[in-house]
Amino acid sequence: ILDGNRLRNIANLRQLVKLSYLSLNNNLIEDLTGWCMEIGNIQTLNLAGNKISKLAGIAKLRSIKSLDLSCNLITKFEEIDELAGLPVLEVLGLNGNPLALEVDYRARVITRFDERGRDVILDNEKCSQFEIDKAMVLSALRKSKIG
């Protein structure tokens, strides 16, 4: 646990090959690029209360099951696409980010995960059938715009 230490990045964790839980809550972290080289086997990562707005690089942390990004600066739903490729992600925290104030926030996040969306626990709450249905509609609309 390295909460509240004013850290801007991580270093020298590479040797901790059995590290599965890391809490970096309330630091000054903005950039996640290259983190897979330092904490590639992490399963639970708490990055709540930092200054993260872009999620580039996080998609390489393929063993993450639980990720808390609450109270950061994420504004674009396109950033969630970085998380959608995480194959074992089960629990995701995004509340307290600017995008959480958007209309249909939960459904718009779920839609980024396609079929897996129904299994993701978002902000400590399992998705309702209504949210899943709305996400399916939003996903179809998004795909029709792309194609």
Residue 70 has pLDDT above 70, yes or no: yes
Residue 132 has pLDDT above 70, yes or no: yes
Q: What is the pLDDT of residue 34?
A: 82
pLDDT band at 44 (very low <50, low <70, confident <90, very high): very high
Q: Specify the amino acid at residue 64.
A: I
CA distance linking residue 110 with residue 14, whole number of Å: 32
Considering only residues 39 and 23, tell me which one the structure prediction assigns the higher pLDDT: 23
CA 20 to chain centre: 17
Q: What is the pLDDT of residue 14?
A: 77
Q: pLDDT tens across 111-123, in order?
A: 998 888 888 999 9
Considering only residues 97 and 141, tell me which one the structure prediction assigns the higher pLDDT: 97
Pick from 71, 29, 27, 74: which is nearest to 55 by CA? 74
Q: What is the pLDDT of residue 101?
A: 96
